[in-house]
Amino acid sequence: MATSIRLDKVVKRYGSLDVIHGVDLAIEPGEFTVFVGPSGCGKSTLLRMIAGLEPISAGDLTIDGERMNNVPASRRGIAMVFQSYALYPHMSVYKNLAFGLETAGYKRAEIDERVRHAARILKIEDYLQRRPKALSGGQRQRVAIGRAIVREPRIFLFDEPLSNLDAELRVQMRVEIAKLHQDLGNTMIYVTHDQVEAMTMADKIVVLRDGVVMQVGAPLDLYNAPANQFVAGFIGSPKMNFLAGRLAGTGDAIEVAGRTVRLGAPLAGAKATTPVTFGVRPEHILVGGEVGESLGDVKIHLVEHLGGETVLYAATAGGDNLTISAPGQLQVRHGETVPLRADPALCHVFDSKGASLRR
């Protein structure tokens, strides 16, 4: 049966320095939760606290309702997969998978059953007699995951497990880990700085910044309704465009890039002439046409033809940079001036502190 995890005002402190600031979080049984954020935001530290590898300075961690703050890592029912494969080079794949169970005193027949079961799940049955040096990076990572599977844990923790792989293998392993979650149904927590991994794998994303949770939600909830400018800029690729603006009239329009963009509805708590930041995703900008609100004309500085999409890098008359992502093979050249439009319902507005005014 899948396991629930609760963090209640969890703090991590090194001396007088707080690096995790009172995190409250609920992870439901069987959920695939991803901690994402820039380097140094505290995501790996938070994961290690759940694992029992770092002590909790304040607050409570509970697993299935049982307080775990002082429970040793070995008794939490958790298996962790690290960024480094950390395989024993002198042992075969079979021995690497079996070693932890042997030291724990399991019988040989049960060890063999668990090892071969994990090998079938990960499709490494043909490699059981090889040593790690004879494996590719992806195969080594499967073995590292297999060492976690054979323990039959309540919870799987992944700490940036794909960082050592090349781009093609990362995509392949991303799919395999997501499928592993579907097959096993265990509660899983995955740490990454790659928002694409977070968007494609997670049931729930936790966005962290400087040890503080910025927003928690399903991937598309964070994409469509970011709580603040940081989340808006971090989730989505290419990242959201931000332009300085000012509310106009009764707060249902914004002056930006020399244009008045009508939002269709007043912004809650907004006052006329208030400075704001206008945000629009590259894929929500239209080149030409009559649909949506005009964003004015821009000059194209660079065109990237990717086959299935065309990415344009442009500048407004006021010198603000914009990135536009258009589907298909758009026939636009460097130095050309083109008109832009956007659906106001897909645009975002943030106040002077970065909080969203359109949630």
The answer to which of 36-45, 136-145, 222-231 has the lowest mean pLDDT is 136-145
- pLDDT value at residue 359: 65
Instruction: Locate CATH 2.40.50.140 in the chain.
Output: 238-350
Nearest CA to 354 out of 216, 234, 258 is that of: 234
Per-residue pLDDT band at 259 (split at 50, 70, 90): confident
- pLDDT value at residue 325: 96
By the 8 A CB rule, do 266 and 250 touch? Answer: yes
pLDDT digit string (tens) for 306-318?
A: 999 999 999 998 8
CA 119 to chain centre: 28
Class of domain 238-350: mainly beta
Amino acid at 147: R
Nearest CA to 148 out of 70, 31, 51 is that of: 51
Residue 331 phi/psi, 5-degree rounding, is -90, 80
Which residues touch 190 (CB under 8 Å, ≥6 apart)?
Answer: 32, 33, 34, 35, 157, 158, 161, 177, 197, 201, 202
**Distance of alpha carbon 161 from alpha carbon 210, whole angstroms:** 22
What tokens were used for 35? 């901690």
Per-residue pLDDT band at 167 (split at 50, 70, 90): confident
Q: How many CB atoms within 10 Å of residue 9?
A: 11
Question: Environment class of residue 157 by beta-carbon count within 10 Å: exposed (0-12), middle (13-18) or buried (19+)?
Answer: buried
- pLDDT at residue 116 above 90? yes
Q: How many CB atoms within 10 Å of residue 106?
A: 17
Q: For the domain bounded by 5-233, which CATH number is listed?
A: 3.40.50.300
List, in sequence order, the alpha helices (H) in the chain.
43-51, 93-103, 108-122, 137-149, 167-184, 195-201, 219-224, 229-234
Asked whether the CA dihedral 338, 341, 346, 351 is positive or negative, the reply is: positive
- pLDDT value at residue 88: 93
pLDDT digit string (tens) for 264-303?
A: 777 766 666 678 999 999 999 999 888 889 999 999 999 9
| Pairing label, strands 293-305, 337-342 | antiparallel
- pLDDT value at residue 94: 96
- pLDDT value at residue 181: 93
Q: How many CB atoms within 10 Å of residue 79?
A: 21
Q: What percent of the chain has pLDDT over 70?
A: 97
- pLDDT value at residue 284: 96
pLDDT digit string (tens) for 214-255?
A: 999 999 999 999 999 999 999 998 999 999 998 887 678 888
Instruction: Locate CATH 3.40.50.300 in the chain.
Output: 5-233
| DSSP letters spanning 167-180 | HHHHHHHHHHHHHH
- pLDDT value at residue 292: 86
- Max Cα–Cα distance, the chain, nearest Å: 77
